[in-house]
Amino acid sequence: MASSRGKAPSQRQLRIGEEIRHALVEILSRGHFRDPVLRATPITVTEVRATPDLRRAIVFVTPLGGEGMEESLSALRRAAPYLRGQLGHHAKLRFLPELAFEPDVTFEEVAKIDALLHPKSPPKGGQGDDT
């Protein structure tokens, strides 16, 4: 979760990121959207990273089940101004950051690492045991 300069985020960045995450989860769970993709697809907000100046928040999301990532991302990006406005009603912030939505690929990375660490072993006692 370190920034691009290798510096760890401040307590304030972490606190604001978490407050935005909770507010977005509440807003998205209501499902009051015109966009049919946002109405039909449950979206998980896994993390929000606030920039050091708190003017931008990168929101990492994944659709439930992992299907339709591109459609969900484009729908969220279209709805970003609306979500930012709703954020003003739910989060107690002096300044509302711009929202940038990015896919969360953490689950895929974990699955790859798990597959490398725990390869599937061939079945025992099958054919080909003619020694």
Q: Read off the amino acid at residue 119.
A: P
The reply to whether 2 falls in a domain is no
User: For residue 113, is it within any domain?
Assistant: yes
The reply to whether 95 falls in a domain is yes
Closest to 21 in 3D by CA, of 54, 55, 50, 63: 50
Q: Quick count: other Cβ atoms within 10 Å of Cβ 52?
A: 13
Structure confidence by residue, pLDDT tens digits, 46-67: 999 999 999 999 999 998 877 7
CATH (domain of 22): 3.30.300.20
88-108 pLDDT, tens digit each: 888 888 889 999 999 988 777
Q: Is residue 79, in this structure, part of any structural domain at all? A: yes
Is the overall model pTM greater than 0.85, yes or no? no
**Local structure of 16: helix, strand or coil:** helix
Give the count of domains, the chain. 1
Asked whether residue 122 is domain-assigned, the answer is no
Residue 129 falls inside a structural domain: no
Identify whether 126 is part of a domain: no
3-class DSSP state for residue 111? helix
Structural domain of residue 112, as residue ranges? 11-117
Domain contains 131: no
Report the distance separating Cα 1 and Cα 129, nearest Å.
Answer: 50
